[in-house]
Chains A and B, each alone.
Chain A
Amino acid sequence: MMSAARRGLLEANRGRYEELRAAGQSATPKRLPEPTPREGAVIAADAIIRREMVPPGWYTTVALRRGEALRVTDPSGRSSVSMIGWRQEDPSERINCADTVKVQWTAALAKGRVIFSDMGRVLLSLIEDTSGAHDLLAGGSTPASTLAAYGATTRNTYDNFLGAAAKLGLGLRDVPPCITFFAPVVVGADGRFAWKRERKHAGDFVDLRAEMNLVLAISNCAHPLDPARPAASEDITLTRYRAPPAAADDPCRTGSPEAARAFTFTDRLFA
């Protein structure tokens, strides 16, 4: 038999959960900023550290320090960009898609949201985003998914992440589930995935501000749910630039009570 005291604690926990859920699914979305206009948020020329292009099918690694950001741009509107990332000083800390979804009460990443590590800290903040159509669920392409889609195994995100990890001294064990930008995957009312092509636009970009020192692996391969045959990916552009750490009133930091706590825990790494 459960004690009255424990019953009381559990009832209190249920009440708190319902309050957090209400805040997370109504108050927080209202506080999110509007999407960035595709012609907006021009990066000051003197803030740019490096700009590079990644051809379709290929990957690169980007080291990003706290105080820097990375703009990922899809000029053609036909590419999707899969990404994983590790904390530079301890790569056992890495991107965690499940926590990113669960903690923010949504699978829909957009401007004002953050990407979590597995340690309750913020890896990256979406400080600009024209798209709001990103996938945290279905993952990147694999040898099997390209064979099924195109009739032959092509370059794919699984192989790309292995290559990127290897060049950092890491291996298959270090490759976690990925996020894919410009991948408009939604879960329909029938519980099935659907691809919303109309949510992809030429010139879409997302700006990721590093909240700790990171290494990112970025793969420019068609998303496995993208119906284009053959794959229609084009070059993508990566622009690394100086971006000051989140101020006290930063919209990503203040977007939700959960984000505020995660920033507090992240800041402790640098206190």
Chain B
Amino acid sequence: MSTLSSMQAVYTDDIPAEHPWSRRIARGQTLRIIDSEGQQAVDALLYGADDAAERYSAQDTMRAGNSPYVGLGSKLISNKGRVLACLTADTCGMHDTSAGCCSCESNAVRFGEDTRYQHACRENFILELSKYGMTKRDIVANLNFFMNVPIEPSGNFTVVDGISASGNYVDITAEMDVIFVISNCPQINNPCNGFNPTPIRVEIFDPPAA
């Protein structure tokens, strides 16, 4: 649990199901992502606010953590090897960073061509990143908060039912000024959202007074 209370938040927003969101988070600020109704995957990307070519690197993060999963204490590492942010609270305990985001194109491959014209996280990312002059080129492998993707020693890799309950949250404290981008995942073809996308809430907290 965190010592931060929602009463102290300097910013609060409810992100509707299937929608994107982004915000600049200053060094020292904490972003809380709340799975309002439970079992909702939250796809996330981070970019350096001053140099967006520096961005979240899933592979560097996994290597630094010696694990394909992220959780309390995980350092989110940039492609330049620097710490973008840290997970400072986590009431869920299961987050993925190896499965990437859904796209219309990968949905068509995975689930059949009749799913091509369903909304997808990459559509959200493209639209949200366009506000910062970024394009599909800038979309890299992302974080999936509250998404449960166990990898077995055999390599078997499955998106299974999320374990997050209504009100579970994760706190991410910025170590540098970042643009934090979210896609509230619209996927309805696998269990990452319990087959039913729902809203999430974000809150931002200032650093504790010195």
A99 with B108: CB separation less than 8 A = no
Residues on B facing A (Cβ under 8 Å): 53, 57-60, 62-63, 66-69, 79, 81, 98-101, 103, 105-106, 108-113, 135-141, 151-159, 188-191, 195-196
Count residues of A near B (Cβ-Cβ below 8 Å): 59
B99 vs chain A, min Cβ distance (A) = 5
Question: A-B pairs with CB below 8 Å: how many?
Answer: 150
CA distance A31 to B164 in the complex (A): 36
A14 with B155: CB separation less than 8 A = no
B108 vs chain A, min Cβ distance (A) = 5
A261 with B81: CB separation less than 8 A = no
Cβ contact of B153, chosen from A2, A178, A189, A262, cutoff 8 A: A189
Q: Which residue of A lies closest to B196 (CB)?
A: A10
Q: Which residue of B lies closest to A172 (CB)?
A: B53
A106 with B156: CB separation less than 8 A = yes
Interface of B is mostly: loop
Residues of chain A within 8 A of B140, CB atoms compared: 176-177
A265 with B99: CB separation less than 8 A = no
A136 vs chain B, min Cβ distance (A) = 8
A17 with B81: CB separation less than 8 A = no
B158 with A191: CB separation less than 8 A = no
Residues of chain A within 8 A of B59, CB atoms compared: 97, 137-140, 177-178
CA distance A105 to B152 in the complex (A): 11
B191 with A17: CB separation less than 8 A = yes
User: Of the 9-residue stretches A46-54, A57-65, A142-150, A205-213, which lies at the interface with chain B?
Assistant: A142-150
CA distance A102 to B191 in the complex (A): 13
B108 with A120: CB separation less than 8 A = yes
A110 vs chain B, min Cβ distance (A) = 9
